[in-house]
Amino acid sequence: FSIEEVEVAPPKAKEVRIKITATGLCGTEIKMLENQMQYPIILGHEGAGIVESVGEGVSTVKAGDKVITLFLPQCGECASCLNSEDNYCIQLKQSHTSLMTDGTSRFTCKGKPIYHFANTSTFSEYTVIREISVAKIDAMAPLEKVCLISCGFSTGYGAAINTAKVTSGSTCAVFGLGGVGLSVVMGCKAAGAARIIGVDINKDKFEKAKQVGATECISPQDFKKPIQDVLVEMTGAGVEFCFEVIGNPEMVAAALASCHESHGVCVIVGLIDYGVQLNINGYLFFSGRSLKGSVFGGWKSRENVSKLVSDYMAKKFNLDPLITHTMNL
């Protein structure tokens, strides 16, 4: 990474130029660096800011509005957007994620074009984003905190609330206690789970996990037997809801095997690299377990993000525990 001065072009039709006030660092960024991307590129997809200007035909936001950037758009017209149970907008796949819709970039540095990332590129003082990837939020919201609703918090919290549909009084296990994993814990607690077991090899994360709702935490390194066997013994029959929030294929198999054999639900929240195959014993499905994927916590992005910000303003959840460092460019 290097800090450079860039030129950010005005927004074209159906585009918005935003002054980014705050942006989070998501683990996905680190994973993406390991994949083959087009360089040079401005990363960042977890941001909040203020609209500086809008292009022709933009009707949902105006200059001065506080907004959150969305790596997952909501066009409102495709089959996914029109399905009440779906949030995977077709525009995510059909767009040039390294360039704008017209196949060009809005960034230049030293006269050369710079690639966009995830239709957001929030590691920049100013960025240009399509209108369908911008959500207007409460004018009083603290952007340095609600920027986490742009990805990490929403992804974890929603995986528990929307994807798994955690039930009151249930037992849950969360593999991986980073920012997204902690948000899963918060979602399980909000849903009324009676027992929330955090699983991580880094014990330094246990105190924070308990602070946001974990009832107990364990490290796989403390046991000689597989972690799924430990969890089944701890709970008697396996957990009812399990979340893999690492993106490790082996941990997905362990998380699924940790589930209750007849009605356990396992949700993959962590990003697994493209093309990686899962090695799972098919017999695990014979009794009724289910394995589910989740993107952005199942939220319809433009529709639900503003509501989540309102919930934060109403003190329905606290984002402070998720913020460990605050740095300037």
Confidence (pLDDT) at 53: 98
Helix, strand or coil, per DSSP, at residue 196: strand
Give CA–CA dist 243/257, Å, rounded. 12
Shared-domain flag, residues 142 and 220? no
Residue labelled with tokens 């089959």:
79
Shared-domain flag, residues 31 and 139? yes
Nearest to 122 by CA among 62, 176, 58, 71: 71
Range of the domain at 20: 7-152+298-322
Provide the residue type at 93 as one letter: K
With respect to residue 53, please indicate whether it lies within any of the assigned structural domains: yes
With respect to residue 136, please indicate whether it lies within any of the assigned structural domains: yes
Shared-domain flag, residues 241 and 316? no
Shared-domain flag, residues 106 and 196? no
Shared-domain flag, residues 128 and 23? yes
Alpha carbon of 302 to those of 12, 15, 19, 33, 61: distances in Å?
A: 20, 15, 19, 27, 12
With respect to residue 175, please indicate whether it lies within any of the assigned structural domains: yes
Give, as one character, the DSSP assignment of residue 125.
S
Shared-domain flag, residues 173 and 127? no
Shared-domain flag, residues 188 and 276? yes
Alpha carbon of 48 to those of 138, 149, 179: distances in Å?
A: 12, 9, 17
Query: The domain that contains 37 carries what CATH number?
Result: 3.90.180.10
Token couple for 242: 């399990």
Give, as one character, the DSSP assignment of residue 275.
T
With respect to residue 158, please indicate whether it lies within any of the assigned structural domains: no
Give CA–CA dist 198/210, Å, rounded. 8
With respect to residue 160, please indicate whether it lies within any of the assigned structural domains: no
Shared-domain flag, residues 24 and 131? yes
Residue labelled with tokens 């006030």:
21
Confidence (pLDDT) at 152: 95
Nearest to 179 by CA among 12, 6, 30: 30
Shared-domain flag, residues 225 and 270? yes
pTM given for the model: 0.96
Shared-domain flag, residues 177 and 132? no
With respect to residue 131, please indicate whether it lies within any of the assigned structural domains: yes
Give CA–CA dist 44/186, Å, rounded. 24
Confidence (pLDDT) at 37: 79
Tens-digit pLDDT profile for residues 90-117: 998 766 568 999 999 999 999 999 999 9
Give the dihedral of Cα atoms 87, 92, 94, 99; nearest 10 deg. Answer: 160
Nearest to 1 by CA among 26, 36, 30: 30
Token couple for 145: 């905190």
Provide the residue type at 3 as one letter: I
Name 296's Cβ contacts closer than 8 Å, sequence gap at least 6.
Answer: 71, 72, 87, 151, 154, 155, 158
Confidence (pLDDT) at 180: 96
Query: The domain that contains 186 carries what CATH number?
Result: 3.40.50.720
Q: Tell me how crowded residue 289 is: count the other CB atoms within 10 A of its CB.
A: 20
Confidence (pLDDT) at 93: 78
With respect to residue 159, please indicate whether it lies within any of the assigned structural domains: no
Dihedral of CA 176/180/186/192: which sign? negative
Give CA–CA dist 283/28, Å, rounded. 32
With respect to residue 311, please indicate whether it lies within any of the assigned structural domains: yes
Confidence (pLDDT) at 30: 79
Q: What is the number of structural domains in the chain?
A: 2
Nearest to 152 by CA among 24, 54, 302, 291: 24
The answer to whether the bond into 40 is cis (omega within 30° of 0) is: yes
Task: Indicate left, alpha or beta for 164 from its phi (over 0: left) and psi (-120 to 50: alpha).
Answer: alpha
| Cβ-contact 309, 68 below 8 angstroms | yes
Shared-domain flag, residues 289 and 302? no
In tens digits, the chain (329 residues) has pLDDT values of 899 999 999 999 999 999 999 999 888 887 777 776 789 999 999 999 999 999 999 999 999 999 999 999 999 999 999 999 999 999 987 665 689 999 999 999 999 999 999 889 999 999 999 999 999 999 999 999 999 999 999 999 999 999 999 999 999 999 999 999 999 999 999 999 999 999 999 999 999 999 999 999 999 999 999 999 999 999 999 999 999 999 999 999 999 999 999 999 999 999 998 889 999 999 999 999 999 999 999 999 999 999 999 999 999 999 999 999 999 87
